[in-house]
Amino acid sequence: MLNIKNNIKVLLTACVALTIPTILSAATSYASVSPIGNPSSATKAESLTAEVQEDNLEKSDQLCIDTNLGRTRLKELLLNKRGVALTFDDGPNPHTTPYILDILKKRHLKAVFFVLGVQANKYPDIVKRIHDEGHIVGNHTYGHKNLAKLKPAAIKKEIESTNKLIEKITGTKPKFIRPPYGSVNKAVVEAINEEGMSMVLWTVDTKDWHSKNEKAVLKEVDRQLHISSGKCIGGAILMHDIYPSTVRALDPVLDKLASNNYKVYSVDNLGNTESDFWSVKAPIFCTRPISLHADPEISRNPLMITLLKDKPKEKVSQMGMLKARKEGNLLIYLAMAR
Ligand code: NI
């Protein structure tokens, strides 16, 4: 068993090693992405502190109705699931959102995009594409204002005008809303209820708006989902599809989740519908410390000794790793590779 445990470290080592070229290649691919002109409302809004968000998350949970997905409810649904919901806010942005959509399409994954009315108005084609490709278009208000600071009529206007716009573009009235900063009060919850919508918050804040750095985003996901520690909890991940760094982070984040057997859930069916990153059910193992050069004899397990001893070593390659994973042989592949 010691050897098995040890060998699992290979996974971590190899994953980290493989994400580096991925990040580099992604950086090259998206090098042409120019610094984007963020919507001024969003930029100003994102300067609020994370502490404010946390405060509001707790408050909003107390105000939740059954259909709402506040932080507590999301934890109930996802914490023990080794599953994530992917959520993107503040778009669409023509310089970044299409790249996010390309990546999700390539991986056959679905996400929810909480769009701003002001951006949807400028880029209806991207909103249409989000919808047409099977993702959920959610309401993130028209101008990214802190709803809890507005009068009831203004709250209603922010929500309704965005719903109407999205419905005009996609033909479907949005079911989900994410108030900017997760900031809500009684009046906001009432307005959401009146529109017959469900509020969706998050449990994992990648802080991509703050770091604007793909490695930092990956680190936050790993830390908040407790992946490297081996606990591997589930969660709803908050990202923003308006930063090139988030585009560059997405593949490495999804690689990390996939290599730890996470599944992606849609927010409209967190308990039931699921789609695997890969179409195989691979054995569940999580990342642990391991020595690549461990002697299989230590395991005293005849099968492990036969499999691992005196076999020709081959170089770890991303393709080889993917193939082995599909066959359910990732552990053996990594243990035999050099
Ligand atoms: Ni936002």
Domain ranges in the chain?
2-15+283-336, 37-276
- Cβ atoms of 4 and 299 closer than 8 Å: yes
Report the distance separating Cα 88 and Cα 81, nearest Å.
Answer: 21
- Cβ atoms of 250 and 103 closer than 8 Å: yes
Say which range, 4-18, 213-227, 266-280, has the weakest mean pLDDT: 4-18
| Proportion of the chain above pLDDT 90, given as a percent | 48
What would the mean pLDDT of 311-323 be, rounded to a whole number?
70
The Å distance, Cα 155 to ligand 1 centre, comes to 15
What would the mean pLDDT of 215-228 be, rounded to a whole number?
96
pLDDT at residue 280 greater than cutoff 60:
no
The Å distance, Cα 140 to ligand 1 centre, comes to 7
Position with higher pLDDT, 22 vs 92: 92
pLDDT at residue 81 greater than cutoff 60:
yes
- Pair of tokens at residue 248: 């560059």
pLDDT at residue 195 greater than cutoff 80:
yes
Report the distance separating Cα 221 and Cα 252, nearest Å.
Answer: 10
DSSP labels, 239-280: EETT-HHHHHHHHHHHHHHHHTT-EEE-GGGTTS-EEESSSS
136-139 and 235-240 beta bridge pairing: unpaired
For 233, residues 6+ apart whose C-beta sits below 8 A from its C-beta are 78, 79, 80, 82, 225, 226
- Which of the residues are catalytic? 89, 240
pLDDT at residue 172 greater than cutoff 80:
yes
What would the mean pLDDT of 179-204 be, rounded to a whole number?
91
- Cβ atoms of 101 and 250 closer than 8 Å: no
The Å distance, Cα 40 to ligand 1 centre, comes to 12
Report the distance separating Cα 8 and Cα 10, nearest Å.
Answer: 5
- Cβ atoms of 148 and 183 closer than 8 Å: yes
**Which CATH superfamily hosts domain 37-276?**
Glycoside hydrolase/deacetylase (3.20.20.370)
Question: Angle CA(161)–CA(162)–CA(167) in degrees, nearest 5?
Answer: 100
| Proportion of the chain above pLDDT 70, given as a percent | 64
The Å distance, Cα 80 to ligand 1 centre, comes to 27
Residues whose beta carbons lie less than 5 angstroms from ion ligand 1: 89-90, 180
What would the mean pLDDT of 76-94 be, rounded to a whole number?
89
Position with higher pLDDT, 324 vs 39: 324
Q: Is 86 helix (H, G, I), strand (E, B) or coil?
A: strand
274-276 and 263-265 beta bridge pairing: antiparallel
Position with higher pLDDT, 62 vs 222: 222
Which pLDDT belongs to residue 337? 62
Question: Angle CA(286)–CA(89)–CA(161) in degrees, nearest 5?
Answer: 150
What would the mean pLDDT of 294-319 be, rounded to a whole number?
58
The Å distance, Cα 42 to ligand 1 centre, comes to 6
